[in-house]
Structure 1
Amino acid sequence: MLRARGAAPKPHATMTDDEILSEFRAAEALLEGHFILSSGRHSPRYLQCARVLMDARRAARLCEALAATIPADLAIAAVVSPAMGGVIVGHEMGRALNVPAMFLERPTGTFELRRGFRLEPGTRVLMMEDVVTTGLSSREATAAIAVAGGEVVAAAALVDRSNGAARFDVPFYPLIRLDVPSYEADAVPPELAAIPAIKPGSRAA
């Protein structure tokens, strides 16, 4: 059973953990099966954030709730997110925080700003993800933002499903933390290995 971490629901602006999970369930975004995550790990459950974000009003509700948890004294001046999964959620966070939103792409395998996006030196950036599993793409995005001249002062995500494994050098603000089991490819339980694996994410490797 997918459940929020912690003993009791906590409020996110006007939303509790149960209300946030209800948004995912209403969008049919909590999937059961055998999934290969973008990290290469295997899991019996998958959060398809794209389905949550396809409803603009739902995306706005979730991101406004998340934005309410970001301290004003961080003085965020821009939101930058990694494509593809972070594009919509980054845009919604930019709107909620009333700052510009940009996204990073991998035209040659390494994240970079394109399409005329640029950061003035020292721009205070919120690095925004949809789901954090290992923190790998977050670290790669943070490095790319630094190369572009920005300073990541905080990270955020709709969902932290890292089970505490993801580490950040800046404050991290997930809207909700979920315990979702995942396994290395050579340690998949037999009952999961018996189910054909699919790769639902946007990253090919």
Structure 2
Amino acid sequence: MNQEQILQIFRDSEALLEGHFRLTSGRHSNRYVQCAQVLQYPDQTEKLASYLADKVEATVGKGTVDLVIGPAMGGIIVAYAVGQALGLRAIFAERENGTMKLRRSFQIAKGQKVLVCEDVVTTGGSVREVMDVVKEAGGEVIAVASLIERSNGQADFGVPFCSALAMEVISWDPAECPLCQEGTPAIKPGSRS
């Protein structure tokens, strides 16, 4: 697959939205990627996950990853699908009282080499929280992967970062947002308010 084919998958599933959006980071943007629209189609998810798994293995080495983890909610399906493509166990971390944790009896063995997967990376906050969970459990994060990278190259996790598609999406501090200045109300899509 090439970048245009991947972008077409997002267009066809109506996952790429245009308007005035308040992002999880608090910033505003005129574009929003709702990966859940793509992830509802197992055949498309499998294609994207296989592409991403191949890219990760080309970066860190085939057979290097022991476990895949993603943050709830956005990273659950991505971690599962990439785990399936790699033939590995896939788990997720979730917030409890505002703190990202392992729950549901999920375990990370000491020294396990872990791939953190996310649907969209903008600021990388959720990824960093999951990385902390992995480290606290004794695992070693060896790479991060996401379907969409929209940090404009600003996300640095200290490990290799692979994405299926990098999109340059402009975002603004709410005080500087031209759409707010026009009086257009911002909406908050996605799962986190």
**TM-score, normalised via structure 1 length:** 0.89
Residues 57, 190 of structure 1: alpha-carbon distance in 2 compared, 3 angstrom cutoff? closer
- Distance in 1, matches of 2:63 and 2:23, equals 32
Tell me which of 76, 86, 96 is aligned to 1:97: 86
Corresponding residue number in structure 2 for 1:182 = 171
Tell me which of 62, 71, 75 is aligned to 1:82: 71
How much does 1:193 deviate? 4.5
Give, as a single letter, the amino acid of the residue that structure 2 aligns with 1:47.
V
* Contact 1:80–1:103, Cα closer than 8 Å, also in 2: yes
How much does 1:194 deviate? 2.3
* Contact 1:34–1:192, Cα closer than 8 Å, also in 2: no
* Contact 1:35–1:46, Cα closer than 8 Å, also in 2: yes
Give, as a single letter, the amino acid of the residue that structure 1 aligns with 2:122.
T
Residues 142, 31 of structure 1: alpha-carbon distance in 2 compared, 3 angstrom cutoff? same
Tell me which of 124, 148, 152 is aligned to 1:163: 152
- Distance in 1, matches of 2:80 and 2:20, equals 30
Tell me which of 67, 79, 87 is aligned to 2:53: 67
Tell me which of 86, 101, 104 is aligned to 1:112: 101
Tell me which of 141, 148, 173 is aligned to 2:130: 141
Runs (5+) with no aligned partner, structure 1: 1-14
How much does 1:74 deviate? 6.3
* Contact 2:20–2:179, Cα closer than 8 Å, also in 1: no
- Distance in 1, matches of 2:182 and 2:33, equals 19
Runs (5+) with no aligned partner, structure 2: none
- Classify the secondary structure of the residue corresponding to 2:188: coil
How much does 1:190 deviate? 4.5
How much does 1:37 deviate? 0.6
> Paired residues, what number?
190
Corresponding residue number in structure 1 for 2:18 = 32
Corresponding residue number in structure 2 for 1:201 = 190
Residues 43, 192 of structure 1: alpha-carbon distance in 2 compared, 3 angstrom cutoff? farther
Q: Percent identity?
A: 48
Greater Cα offset, 140-149 or 58-67: 140-149
The reply to whether residue 50 of structure 1 matches residue 36 of structure 2 is: yes
- Distance in 2, matches of 1:109 and 1:170, equals 25
Moved over 4 A (4+): 190-193
- Distance in 1, matches of 2:180 and 2:27, equals 16
- Distance in 1, matches of 2:106 and 2:130, equals 14
The structure carrying a bigger helix percent of its residues is 2
How much does 1:137 deviate? 1.2
The CA RMSD over aligned residues, in Å, is 1.3
- Distance in 2, matches of 1:144 and 1:190, equals 37
